[in-house]
């Protein structure tokens, strides 16, 4: 089964759950990236010559995908135990 066939076989509730999982993962990704930027600024003591980083969409979505993968694996392990 290909990815497209699998997505078409899902119900609307499954799509909603996957969407909420990915949105939550993107939110965690944003928090992580902003914390890393703040940590860098503190380490450089807010020097005016420091590199000014920003949260880019590629980094945000990539880290969000990793978070969603890890959350999915955790949920898979939790619900595997349940009857």
pLDDT tens digits, one per residue of 16-57: 988 999 999 999 999 999 999 999 999 888 888 888 888 999
Instruction: Give pTM, 2 decimals.
Output: 0.79
Instruction: Tell me which residue has tokens 């799509």.
Output: 15
pLDDT tens digits, one per residue of 58-79: 999 999 999 999 998 998 888 8
The contacts of residue 32 (CB under 8 Å, 6+ apart) are: 63
Handedness of CA 63, 69, 21, 9 (dihedral sign): positive
Task: Identify whether the C-beta of residue 33 lies closer than 8 Å to the C-beta of residue 63.
Answer: yes
Q: What is the domain partition of the chain in residue ranges?
A: 11-81
Nearest-angstrom CA–CA distance, 28 and 73? 16
């Amino acid at each position: 089964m290909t990815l497209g066939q699998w997505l078409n076989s899902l119900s609307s509730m499954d799509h909603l759950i996957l969407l909420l999982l990915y949105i939550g993962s993107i939110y965690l990704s944003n928090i992580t990236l902003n914390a890393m930027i703040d940590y860098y600024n503190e380490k450089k003591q807010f020097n005016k010559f420091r590199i000014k980083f920003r949260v880019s969409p590629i980094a945000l979505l990539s880290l969000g995908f990793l978070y969603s993968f890890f959350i999915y694996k955790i949920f898979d392990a939790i619900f595997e135990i349940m009857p």
